[in-house]
Each structure stands twice: as C-alpha cells, then as structure tokens.
Amino acid sequence: MFDRVLLASLVAVVPHATADTTTVYLPAFYDSVTHMEPVGKLGQVIKKERIATRIPGARAWRIAYISSDMAGRKTVATAVLAAPVGDAPPGGRSVVAWAHGTTGTAENCGPSQEVNPAQPLNEYFLIGGNSTTDYGLPGVNRFIRDGYVIVATDYQGLGGGGIHQYMISPTQAHDAIDSIRAAGNMKETGAGKKAVLYGWSQGAGAVIAAAGLPSYLAQKGTAFDGIDLVGVVALAPPDVAATVPSMPSDEASAETALAAMESMFSNNVFNWSHLAMNLWALPTGFSNLRLTDVFTPDGSEAINRIMTGKCIHALADTLNYNYGSTYKSLMQPKAIHALAWVRALVASSVPAVKPVAPVIIYYGRDDVTVPPVMGQLYRTQMCKIGGNVARVELAGPQTHYTTPPVSEPLYVPWVEDRFAGKPAPNGCSN
C-alpha cells in the first residue's frame, strides 16, 4: 500500500488553483464563522445557534467546531445537532453521527445552511424532495425517541471557511469524528461516549475511513476524549484505493490506471461531475499536483469557477448546458504526472487498516453512481486483515439515491443493537 513517508512528503495545505474563483454569499451564521480562526481543541464548539425543529421531543442547533484536515492542519467545520429534550441518563446519551453524500464544493453547499436542516433526510432526486440539495438527518425521529444525540457535519470548506477537500476521505473522516467530540462538548446535549458513524456516498467513504483511523479516534487532549465507536453504517461507500490492487510503478502504468478510473465515472455528465470535483479538490491536499495536469488550461479555469460557485446539481447542469456531450474535452488527452495523481487518489481514499468497530454496508444493485464493486473490494480487503464487515444488497432494483430510504428500516435496528451492547454478527462469515 501507499508509502507513509512518501505520503508525508506530498501532503500539504496549499493555496488552491490560481484561476479566478466565484463569489458565493452565506447566511449570517456561516459568514461570521468564515472569519474565525481554527483555534482550540479538536471538537471544541466555537459558535452555536439554537434553531427550530419539528422533530418531536427534540431541540436543535447549528454549530461550528474545530476539526483538522488530512495533513493535521486545524480547520473549522459546521454541523447541525439535535438532542432529546430533558435530562440525560447516567453515563450520557449515545451519539449517532451522520456524514452526508455529495452536495458540492462551494462554501454555500453545507446541508446545515438549509432553512430547516433538523429534519428527516430530504433528497433532491426523489419525489417529495423540497430543496435544490440533499439535507437532513436519516432516522432522526426514531433516534430521538431512542434517546440518542444526532450530529451531522457539513465537512470543512462547506460553510466554515477554506476550500472543501472533496473525497479526501481522511479529512471528512476527521470532520465526522470531531463532530462526535463537538456533540460531547455541548453540555446541553447530555452526550456520552458511545457513538455510531453512519454515512452515504461521499459520507460512506468518510465513515469507513474513520473506522481505519484508530490513532485519531484515541487522541488525547481533545474537547471530548474517550469516544467509544461501537459501529459504522456505510450506504453505497466509495473506496478508490480498493480498486488499485498494486500501486503503479511508472508513468505509463499510472496513465492506464488513471484512464480506467476516469472511464468508470465518465458515462454521463452527472457522474463525470463527481470525478471532476474529486480531481479539482486533490491539489488542496497534495502540493505536487496542478489542475492543468489533468484539465486543459481553459478547462482548469472553467472548472475552478464552477466548483467554487455551485452545488452539485447546478454544477452538473452548468456543465451540461455549456459543454453538452463534449464535457470530457475539458480534460487533457493524457494526464501529466499521472503517477503522482494515482498516488494521491489512493492516499486520499480509505486506509487499509482493520476497522476499529463492526461495519455494515448497504447497497443497491442498480447503483451506477458509486460502483458496488468498491464496497465488495473493501469488505474483502478488511476481512482478510481481521475486520468485521457485513455487506447487504437491498431488495429490488435499488439505485444510489434509493439506498438511504430503503436501508433505513434495516440499519436503525442494527444501530440500536450496537448501543445495547449486543455483539455484531460476523460479517465476514460468508
């Protein structure tokens, strides 16, 4: 797997592309947060705002808290937080931390910026969706009835200042872990140490990455030490690293590997938008990469303007309107420094480390956005090193976007069992 010494030499926090960016406007809470320095302990809440919610028996807040990126630099992330009304039981309330799917890369793409973010998951693509983005807290009504605290990070760069490191999964994993610490740092929540991470798509990659970060989970001197992670739920998780069985050793083999990755996500402009976002974000974490390595000069400028100004659905529409079927013309015919890009893609994916807690994956067989083979390869890899990873195919022709609602009746009892102290079945037994 990727050499850690080499990784340390590559990872750095650097200014993003020099091409012009697009200005976005943020609600007052987030605008003020972007002017705050990331000073404090991991998970320390540096700003909070009570918000209304219709969740029965719940109270809710918007919060900003300290986290860190893949390179260890302190950041500010924002989140929505909900907790039951009343006194917490002895030992505190269990915490469920949600990691959302792709919403975009611009600063105004954080789900907690919605007018009423503390509500059940609301999906843009599904009938009944009432927003231009996905937002909300899956399973929240039952989790509140169960007496749990629910926290949902926006990730760094989506409302807390800075550039969003889209699909740099260890960074989003830090944000999810630190959101649990933030819930514990908020005395009003009555949060205890037991926690479950659950996430979808981008967020599913984040939570399985978090399960492979034992040192970060066990870090001392945070705003809330001693997290006891008892389970991880991943809905359609991406894992680029698992699809690269061996690291290319030269430019030619790296070009082939990178071309294969590009092909996997280039069947339509919407899926290609996700790939473009990933490639656009990588230079924020790897100082040896330049956008013009993979995008043409004109493509780099256009991509930078689009990524800093629009959320995912408007972003894809913009690419479709302006480029139609020629969207791939924004990319270089052959990537420059392909080996460095493949190394970065692998290093920014899920660590090849035994998960610290049981993991369960749910997926739809008709998912063409995140190929289910990624979850399959992850499970195989983790089972070989002693992990407990179960994988469940949802009944019927489920897609990427039906995975969250269809899996909810299955994973909620699984979460309840983990908090009840019941041992998870051996997910690697078949």
Q: How far apart are CA 149 and CA 83, in angstroms?
A: 5
pTM of this prediction?
A: 0.94
Q: How far apart are CA 398 and CA 396, in angstroms?
A: 6
Q: Residue 362: helix, strand or coil by DSSP?
A: strand
Given 281, 312, 346, the domain boundary residue is 346
Q: How far apart are CA 413 and CA 186, in angstroms?
A: 26
Identify whether residues 182 and 271 lie together within a single domain: no
10 within domain boundaries: no
Q: How far apart are CA 109 and CA 117, in angstroms?
A: 13
Identify whether residues 253 and 290 lie together within a single domain: yes
Identify whether residues 102 and 225 lie together within a single domain: yes
Identify whether residues 228 and 363 lie together within a single domain: yes
Identify whether residues 99 and 236 lie together within a single domain: yes
Note the pLDDT of residue 18.
39
Identify whether residues 330 and 378 lie together within a single domain: no
31 within domain boundaries: yes
Averaged over successive runs of 10 residues, the pLDDT of the chain (430 residues) comes to 36 40 95 96 98 97 98 97 97 98 98 96 95 96 98 98 97 98 97 98 98 98 98 97 88 92 88 96 95 96 97 97 96 94 95 97 96 96 98 97 98 98 95
Beta bridge partners of 98: 152, 198
Name the region of 104 (left: φ>0; alpha: ψ -120 to 50; beta: rest).
left
Identify whether residues 281 and 382 lie together within a single domain: no
Given 299, 327, 346, the domain boundary residue is 346
Note the pLDDT of residue 65.
98
Residues 6+ apart with CB under 8 A from 420: none
429 within domain boundaries: no
The answer to whether 202 and 167 have CB atoms below 8 angstroms apart is yes
Task: Please report the DSSP string for 41-108 in residue order.
Answer: STT-EEEEEEE---STTEEEEEEEEEEE-TT--EEEEEEEEEEESSPPPTT-EEEEEEE----BSSGG
Domain residues for the domain of 313 are 244-346
Note the pLDDT of residue 430.
79
Q: Residue 223: helix, strand or coil by DSSP?
A: coil
Identify whether residues 312 and 335 lie together within a single domain: yes
How many domains is the chain partitioned into structurally?
2
Identify whether residues 46 and 176 lie together within a single domain: yes
Note the pLDDT of residue 1.
36
Q: b/e string for 73-88 if b means 16 or more Cβ within 10 A?
A: eebbbbbbbbbbeeeb
Identify whether residues 194 and 252 lie together within a single domain: no
6 within domain boundaries: no
Placement of tokens 């924020």 in the chain: 284
Given 346, 374, 396, the domain boundary residue is 346
18 within domain boundaries: no
Identify whether residues 77 and 165 lie together within a single domain: yes
The answer to whether 190 and 149 have CB atoms below 8 angstroms apart is yes
Identify whether residues 161 and 59 lie together within a single domain: yes
Q: Is 141 exposed, middle or buried (0-12, 13-18, 19+ CB in 10 A)?
A: middle
11 within domain boundaries: no
